[in-house]
Amino acid sequence: MAATAASLRVVPPPRLEHYVMTEKLGQGTYATVYKAFKKGDTRDVVAIKCIQKSSLSKTATENLLTEIELLKTLDHEHIVKLKDFEWDDQYIFLIMEYCSGGDLSRFIHSRRVLPEDITRRFLRQLALALHFLHANNIAHMDLKPQNLLLSARQNPVLKLADFGFAQYLHSEEETQTIRGSPLYMAPEMICSMKYDARVDLWSVGVILYEALFGMAPFASGSFAELERKIRSSDQIALPVGSKVSPDCQDLLLALLQRDPLARISFEEFFAHPFLDLEHVPSPLCLEKAIKLVTDAIKMDDASELKEAAQLYCEAMAFFYQPLSVNEKDPEMKARLRERVNQYMNRAEELKQCFKTRSHSSPDELLARYSKDHPELKEALHLASIAEIRDEHGAYDSALSQYQVALEALLPILSGTPRGPYKDAVNLEVNKYMRRAEEIKLYLKLSKEKMKVVPEAVDEDQSRCVIQ
Spatial CA neighbour of 157 closest among 84, 196, 104, 216: 104
- In terms of C-beta density within 10 A (0-12 exposed, 13-18 middle, 19 or more buried), how is residue 211 classed? buried
Q: Fill in the amino acid letter for 213.
A: F
Q: CA 382, CA 428: separation in Å to the nearest integer?
A: 12
What are 196-199's contacts with CB under 8 Å, separation 24+? 196/139, 196/169, 196/170, 196/171, 196/172, 196/260, 197/134, 197/139, 197/169, 197/170, 197/171, 197/173, 197/266, 198/171, 198/260, 198/263, 198/265, 198/266, 199/139, 199/141, 199/260
Q: In 10 A of CB 174, how many CB atoms?
A: 12
Q: Which residue in the list 44, 75, 103, 142 is annotated as catalytic?
A: 142
- In terms of C-beta density within 10 A (0-12 exposed, 13-18 middle, 19 or more buried), how is residue 447 classed? exposed
Which residues, in sequence order, are CB contacts of 49 under 8 Å at separation 6+? 31, 32, 33, 93, 94, 96
- In terms of C-beta density within 10 A (0-12 exposed, 13-18 middle, 19 or more buried), how is residue 388 classed? middle
Q: In 10 A of CB 8, how many CB atoms?
A: 7
Q: CA 366, CA 416: separation in Å to the nearest integer?
A: 16
The answer to whether residue 88 is catalytic is no
Cα torsion 443, 444, 449, 452 to 10°: value is 180
Q: CA 229, CA 183: separation in Å to the nearest integer?
A: 11
Evaluate the CA torsion angle 73, 76, 78, 80 in order and state its sign.
positive
Q: In 10 A of CB 181, how many CB atoms?
A: 16
Counting Cα atoms < 13 Å in the Cβ hemisphere of 232 gives 13
User: Would you say 263 and 120 are in contact if contact means Cβ atoms under 8 Å apart?
Assistant: no
Task: Confirm whether residue 159 is marked as ligand binding.
Answer: no
Evaluate the CA torsion angle 67, 70, 75, 76 in order and state its sign.
negative
User: Which residues make beta-bridge pairs with 138?
Assistant: 168
User: Which residues make beta-bridge pairs with 95?
Assistant: 48, 84
Q: CA 436, CA 153: separation in Å to the nearest integer?
A: 41
Q: Which residues are catalytic?
A: 142
In the annotated binding site for ATP, the residues are 49
